[in-house]
Amino acid sequence: MIPNEAKKRLIEVVGAENYDDTKAGRLVYSYDATPQFQSLPDAVIAPRNTQEVAEIAKICNEYRIPIVPRGSGTNLCAGTCPVEGGVVLLFKHMNRILEIDEENLTATVQPGVVTLDLMKAVEEKGLFYPPDPSSMKISTIGGNINENSGGLRGLKYGVTRDYVLGLEVVLANGDVIRTGGKLAKDVAGYDLTRLFVGSEGTLGIITEATLKLIPMPETKQTMLALYQDLEAAARSVSKIIANKIIPATLEFLDQPTLEVVEDYARIGLPTDVKAVLLIEQDGPKEVVERDMKKMADICRSEQAVSVQLARSEEEAEALRTARRSALSALARLKPTTILEDATVPRSEIAKMVKAINEIAAKYQVKICTFGHAGDGNLHPTCPTDARDRDEMERVEKAFEEIFSKAIELGGTITGEHGVGAMKAPYLEWKLGPAGIAAMKAIKQALDPNNIMNPGKVFAKSTRKRVVVTR
């Protein structure tokens, strides 16, 4: 509950039209893309500028009101679900591209800019902003930064973190700080820029970002390699990298995923094979052609039953779009879709895919697996029904075993989706008690009253398990 006095002061800051505490308004922002998490905020506020955000922080800090910054709510870790109530901050008024600097190859943006809009704007100038989460058509840059979003191009180009050069951040006490700048090198103090990237709104509110751009690759080619053997596909991935080729995209889809995606997208994807690799390379024409040929040879040497280049950019785009629609397609199967992102060193992909299938069989649940094979970042996905308690229990056990296996293989509980409320109970499996304690100390230092997106990252209780020795 927001005390009346605090409400009055918040309305003075943003105007009545930007403060909504109607039941309907609050309901809209009570959940995000994560199944099984819902919690009503006390109000929804849309500040118009950084100064207003700072005033909001001061008031909320005084009254101990939680603040949940939210982009488009496409995250899959319940990162923007207001689990402890408070105010949800929207950035619909702070959604401008402030500058595209062609000399320094940077873009300066407000948090509410939609990812794809930024990509298109810089592409018009022959520039490239690589991080491409599958939700990029609706996700915002602010959300991408808070979650350190990955995407299909992570292997060659890195993730959101690798493109954030500087930030303006409002801290819990209302202080406004600026980190970094249009600088290729800057070692003036601790790397706060990257500390805030991926901190899920728990350390501060991002109000502006300076992003790194790179020249647009000259050409791009796309191909599909089909396999009747899952592990052969996984081995091809390892072999491509071990042959010192870093493709722009190296995606994996298993048969159940292929069937569902084809049924959804209807672009003629093969559904009679056990696995597909979607492979792309970009860059100068000669290099792309050479790399594609080498990769095709590697796939064939690993028993790919077919290796086929996309015949046109339209066909390539259809393949990419189909891959990006995997979650939407899978979500049509059953009322509840649980999509995970256990991640392993890429050398362990084959073992991980095998383990996932064994675990699915053991718990009698359907798990479709696709993902960024080149990164070791897999998305085992379970179409299920939250109303079926017995099945949900088995699903949960299966995913716990998947996380455990990923860590055993030198991996992590989340490669790109974040911890949020959903994976908080498992974080200690990756970090150990000392790692959690160090992170909590930082959280406490920057947000002593715990108003910044509380209930995320750190769990009230952890899932007990035998700790894997590393």
- Looking at residues 15 to 74 of the shown chain, list those that interact with a copy of itself (rule: CB under 8 A): none
- Looking at residues 422 to 441 of the shown chain, list those that interact with a copy of itself (rule: CB under 8 A): 423, 427, 430-432, 434-439, 441
Q: Which stretch binds a copy of itself (CB under 8 A): 42-50, 221-229, 386-394, 443-451?
A: 443-451
The Cα 30–Cα 384 span in angstroms is 22
Q: Which two tokens stand for residue 119?
A: 């990509």
- Looking at residues 233 to 262 of the shown chain, list those that interact with a copy of itself (rule: CB under 8 A): 238, 241-242, 244-246
Q: Does 330 bind a copy of itself (CB under 8 A)?
A: no
Q: Does 171 bind a copy of itself (CB under 8 A)?
A: yes
The Cα 373–Cα 278 span in angstroms is 10
- Looking at residues 78 to 107 of the shown chain, list those that interact with a copy of itself (rule: CB under 8 A): 101-106
Q: Which of 446, 452, 453, 454 is close enough to bind a copy of itself by CB under 8 A? A: 446
DSSP SS3 for 107? strand
Q: Which of 190, 387, 389, 460 is close enough to bind a copy of itself by CB under 8 A? A: 190
The Cα 426–Cα 177 span in angstroms is 32
- For the bound state, the minimum distance from the C-beta of residue 321 to a copy of itself, rounded and expressed in Å, comes to 22
Q: Does 356 bind a copy of itself (CB under 8 A)?
A: no
The three-state DSSP-derived secondary structure of 255-272 is: HHHHHHHHHHHCCCCCCC
Kind of pairing, strands 336-339 and 164-170? Answer: unpaired
Q: Does 194 bind a copy of itself (CB under 8 A)?
A: yes
Q: Which of 16, 23, 189, 311 is close enough to bind a copy of itself by CB under 8 A? A: 189
Q: Does 142 bind a copy of itself (CB under 8 A)?
A: no
Which DSSP string corresponds to 167-210? EEEE-TTS-EEEEE-S-S---SSS-HHHHHTTSTTSS-EEEEEE
Q: Which of 199, 207, 249, 404 is close enough to bind a copy of itself by CB under 8 A? A: 199
Q: Which stretch binds a copy of itself (CB under 8 A): 1-9, 135-143, 299-307, 418-426?
A: 418-426
Q: Which is nearer to a copy of itself, 267 or 438 (CB)?
A: 438
38-68 per-residue burial string, b: 16 or more CB within 10 A, e: under 16: ebebbbbbbbeebebbbbbbbbbbbbebbbb
Q: Does 405 bind a copy of itself (CB under 8 A)?
A: no
- For the bound state, the minimum distance from the C-beta of residue 360 to a copy of itself, rounded and expressed in Å, comes to 23
- Looking at residues 364 to 393 of the shown chain, list those that interact with a copy of itself (rule: CB under 8 A): 372, 374-377
Kind of pairing, strands 67-70 and 87-90? Answer: parallel
Q: Are 457 and 421 in contact (CB under 8 A)?
A: no
The Cα 246–Cα 350 span in angstroms is 19
Residues 6+ away with beta carbon under 8 Å from 228: 273, 274, 303, 305
Q: Which of 40, 214, 361, 468 is close enough to bind a copy of itself by CB under 8 A? A: 214
Q: Does 461 bind a copy of itself (CB under 8 A)?
A: no
Question: How many other CB atoms are found less than 10 A from the CB of residue 249?
Answer: 26
Q: Which is nearer to a copy of itself, 264 or 458 (CB)?
A: 458
